[in-house]
Amino acid sequence: MKIVVIQGPNLNMLGVRDQSVYGPMRLEQIHLQMKDFATQSGVDIEFYQSNLEGEIVDKIQECYGDAHGIIINPAAYSHTSIAIRDAISAVNLPTIEVHISNIYRREEFRQKSMTAPACTSSIIGFGPFGYHLAMVGMIQILSEIKAMHDAQQGAVEA
């Protein structure tokens, strides 16, 4: 089982950028915690961060046939990117959108996510802990998909 974590623009500045909104943790620390949990859970994990919309689209497309699920924080692109939304829809993989801050308590232009409707689920406003919740959720989703697939295979063989 492989999960790809895709981080959008300015997330490489976590721990520096507006700590009152995003907290003091750096992206590397969040990824280290996710990696530890993935290892404990027997899951392969890959991390990717880009400030460029097209590179994020490319990475999502690379997940097709290579990954079982995506955890994504499109950051500011959540509110503007039809291209990222279309890429998520195109690969048709379980995808969980994460936002560190509660976008519904922020400026009006941040309260609408264009990418969320293409995702399986969203985790919003839990700070960096939201990534852990996304990992737990993704592992559960992938386990359910595997169980359903195994049951269908058993029915075919019977």
Q: Is 99 annotated as catalytic?
A: yes
Q: How far is CA 154 from the centre of its chain?
A: 32
- Secondary structure (DSSP) of 18-68: -HHHH-S--HHHHHHHHHHHHHHHT-EEEEEE-S-HHHHHHHHHHTTTT-S
Q: Is 77 annotated as catalytic?
A: no
Out of 48, 99, 104, 149, pick the active-site residue: 99
Cβ within 8 Å of residue 140, ≥6 positions away: none
Out of 22, 68, 77, 131, pick the active-site residue: 22
So which residues are the catalytic ones? 22, 99
